[in-house]
Amino acid sequence: MEAVNQTSNSPFVVTIVGFDDALASSITGAMDMFALAGVAWQRIHQEPIQQYFTVQLASLDGTPIHCINQHVLQASVALDRVQQSDIVMIPTIGGEIGHVLEQTRGLLPHLIRLHRAGSDLASNCTGAFILANAGLLDGRKTTTHWGYAEQFLTMFPKALLQPQQLITEDERVFCAGGGMAWFDLVLKLIERYCGQRVAADTAKTHVVDFNRGQQAAYAPLQRRKFHHDQEISELQDWLEQQYRTNISIESMAVRIALTPRTMIRRFKRATGQTPQQYLQFLRVEEAKRLLGYDDMPISQIVNEIGYEDVSSFTRLFKRLTGFSPGYYRKSFQKINIV
């Protein structure tokens, strides 16, 4: 990620774009974290205060924003009066997506205008639908909440969606995944504008993790059964029952009376994955379930899901989720309060 060079001592300008049915926490939380970037750390350590960002909340006409939790936020500026902003951020859509997209069409020309004027654009979670609705994600890597990935792909096939990623960056457009991933997104942008030290210090003062793993750690396996290949659907059903056993490509092909080559080609066309990749995802998904709800040793879990070598499975698990099995267990098992 290329850092931004500050040309003056003035704070960077951040504009959060509000709209009705937005998730309030993704607005107010981002505003707080930007405003306190570095500042909270300086106060704790009794250092001179240097403010890195100034934050404003914009709505289309400067009117109040009625958030999904029934709270009303007062905008500080109308979006058409914003001529320059280093960062323009779109929060999470909290309401019905189609309705919000229809109601926010007036924002789209301003987002295009500000990006052309040099603003970094950022969206959190389903806020990516608004950027995509403006055509700003066509041909760009992007992410959104894993639960809305299929809907996003259907609506915006020109976007290069990477739903396993928590953060994406492509030509001054930044997107974050899940609803509370705004703090990952804000920390990423703080790092871009102020450097790694300020971002790390900000994470410490807010007691949040810096540089979390992939969104895949939080999402259940997407079964990818919305295709129309009946034989491949039958094979998927069988794999979901038999993944603990030693399954060869040949046995998969025999199961649906196809040659191995034809089976692989059709499986990938239908699901976007090879049969081996699908099998790996099934096993990792079961490992995630066991790590979250069972105390059995990791070596036993590995055997339970059809693997023999713990180290090779650990590498696979980390590649697909961003976490080691041990860290995943520590993060997602029930917290015991002492």
Reduced to 3 DSSP states, what percent helix, strand and coil does the chain have, rounded to the nearest 5? 50, 15, 40
Residues of the chain with CATH 1.10.10.60: 230-332
Question: What per-residue confidence (pLDDT) applies to 12?
Answer: 96
SS3 337: coil
Question: What per-residue confidence (pLDDT) applies to 153?
Answer: 92
Question: What per-residue confidence (pLDDT) applies to 336?
Answer: 43
Return the half-sphere exposure (C-beta side, CA atoms, 13 A cut-off) of residue 261: 0
Residues of the chain with CATH 3.40.50.880: 12-217
Amino acid in the structure at residue 206: H
Successive 10-residue mean pLDDT values, the chain, 338 residues: 62 97 96 90 86 96 96 96 97 96 97 97 97 97 93 95 90 90 92 91 83 64 71 94 92 95 94 91 90 87 90 90 85 56
Q: Which long-range contacts (CB under 8 A, 24 or more apart) does 194-201 make?
A: 194/37, 194/38, 194/52, 195/3, 198/37, 198/38, 198/41, 198/52, 199/37, 201/38, 201/41
Q: pTM score, two decimals? A: 0.73
Question: What per-residue confidence (pLDDT) applies to 216?
Answer: 63
Question: What per-residue confidence (pLDDT) applies to 232?
Answer: 94
Question: What per-residue confidence (pLDDT) applies to 337?
Answer: 40
Question: What per-residue confidence (pLDDT) applies to 338?
Answer: 38
Radius of gyration of the chain (CA): 23
Please tell me the class of the 12-217 domain: alpha beta
CATH T-level fold of 230-332:
Arc Repressor Mutant, subunit A (1.10.10)
Q: Which residues pair with 54 in a beta bridge?
A: 13
Question: What per-residue confidence (pLDDT) applies to 263?
Answer: 96
